[in-house]
Amino acid sequence: MLTRAGLASVSALTLLAMSGMAVGQAIDTFTPVPAPGGQQPAAAAGPVTLPDGTVSASKVEFKEMQFDFGRISDQGTVTTKFHFKNNGTGKLVFKESQKASCGCTAGKPKNMSGGEQLEFAPGEEGFIELSFDAHGKRGDVQQILTIQSYDPHHQPEGPVLTVRAKVKPTITFDPPSVGFGDVMAGQTRKEIIRINGAKPDFAVEYLSTTKGRYVTARVLDTKEVEVDGEKVGQSTVELTFNTGNLPRGNFNAQATIRTNDPAYWLADFPITASIVGDLQVLPPRLNVGIIEVNQPFSKTFRVSSRSGKPFKINKIDQRSSTGAPLEVSFAPVEAGNESAYIVTVKGAGIANPMAINSSLTIVTDSETDPILDMVLSGAVRGSQAAPSPTPSPAPAVYTPMQTPTSDTPR
């Protein structure tokens, strides 16, 4: 016969059994990470069928879902482990591949012995080994790995693991590229670039360019400097651009350095320039915008000497799509000073909708720029007719009903 104390013991055992713990079993120390922002875990999306045809009853829970690698080099790959446990009543099956935000990030499920494994029994633990390749990255970086499994609590996609890092480049260029800007034909220009390595004894040993006929380089000095609180080696390089017989227009080249750092023997940086003459046209294009039919337009631009040398505009030829010729005139900005001109372009009203595409050829006596081109663009659209006023309804006419009389037949 059970006493009152015995009944209490039976009730306690019953509660323990209902909670899934056997008498004398130690409490599991695996504590899953709470959902971010206090959100509740994802609810089951419905039955999920495993590859073997059975219904999944798994539940994957992670101890941690974020990790910060801290400061790392851009020349290596780092890894970390995200531990998980199958807290469901059926086996947990991972899919063959996990979904990463970048090809630089990958992850595989493994058992506690480190072997790759896709199926985990109820209560079994394992980890996702996540790797991050820092090559080509710089500064603060965040990557995510979305876990793909047959867990019905995480469908269609599973938990998201996040890693962060501050990637320190092995070599930095200050500035990142060399731009000579506008260089007049026949002239030379010099620019400086500073190249920092990851170690105090870093040095640039050699430098070449893809267009060495026009761009030459030399190392001025190498010294130890402090960058972001760290001692690094810095080489100062001088580049000289000689326009030579280059035609007008954009110039592009690439410089390659060879260093004493075995982790980064070679590195490249771009070189740009624009070869120009003494005369410049501003703005380089004219746009009249969108105008209505029969609406005249007027635009101005400036032709000036970069060196301040006087020149003359002999004439301005035109080729116009408007049908009617444009009215073009020019005059010095300052009377008696022929180093800069204002050119005015006027167009009469165009009767039909059309695209405006005209060109002007400016003929000068300049030795460097005898011919300059200007493009005029825009469009003419049809005027929208004003809507016709809605006619007012005619006023109602009141017609009184005739009162019957004795002579009126009924």
Indicate which CATH number applies to the domain containing 76.
2.60.40.10
Cα separations in angstroms, 158 against 39, 68, 151:
15, 21, 8
List pLDDT tens digits, range 236-254: 999 999 998 898 899 999 9
CA distance readout (Å), 118 to 96, 97, 108, 111: 7, 10, 9, 9
The stretch 62-83 carries a mean pLDDT of: 92
Q: 119 or 404: whose pLDDT is higher? A: 119
Domain that holds residue 57: 36-168
User: What pLDDT, on a 0 to 100 scale, did the predictor assign at position 277?
Assistant: 92
Provide the pLDDT for residue 392: 56
Q: Which residue has the tokens 């300052």?
A: 334
On the question of a cis peptide bond just before residue 283, with omega within 30 degrees of 0, the verdict is yes
Work out the number of other CB atoms within 10 angstroms of the CB of residue 194.
Answer: 14
Q: Is residue 156 reached through a cis peptide bond, with omega within 30 degrees of 0 on the bond before it? A: yes
The answer to whether residues 128 and 155 belong to one domain is yes
Looking at residue 398, its pLDDT comes to 45
Do 218 and 201 fall into the same domain?
yes
Domain boundary, last residue among 215, 241, 276: 276
Contacts of 300 (CB under 8 A, 6+ apart): 342, 343, 344, 345
User: For the chain, what is the domain count?
Assistant: 3
**Mean pLDDT across 367-372:** 91
The per-residue pLDDT for 19 is 40
315 and 267 belong to one structural domain? no
In a domain, residue 30? The reply is: no
Same domain, 159 and 180: no
Q: Are residues 158 and 44 in the same domain?
A: yes
Residues 62, 143 within the same domain? yes
Per the domain annotation, does 28 fall within a domain? no
242 inside domain:
yes
Task: Kindly state whether residues 164 and 62 are assigned to the same domain.
Answer: yes
Residue 322 in domain: yes
Please give the backbone phi and psi of residue 361, each rounded to the nearest 5 degrees, phi first. Answer: -115, 115
Distances (CA, A) of 297 to 286, 375, 385: 12, 15, 21
Q: What is the pLDDT of residues 26-46, one digit of tens each?
A: 334 556 655 444 333 454 556
Q: How far apart are CA 131 and CA 120, in angstroms?
A: 22
**Looking at residue 32, what is its pLDDT?**
61
Predicted confidence (pLDDT) at residue 11 exceeds the cutoff of 70: no
As a whole number, mean pLDDT of residues 87-105 equals 91
Phi and psi at residue 162, to the nearest 5°: -125, 135
Instruction: Give the tokens for residue 237.
Output: 């390089």
Q: Given this model, what pLDDT does residue 173 score?
A: 93
Domain-located, residue 217:
yes
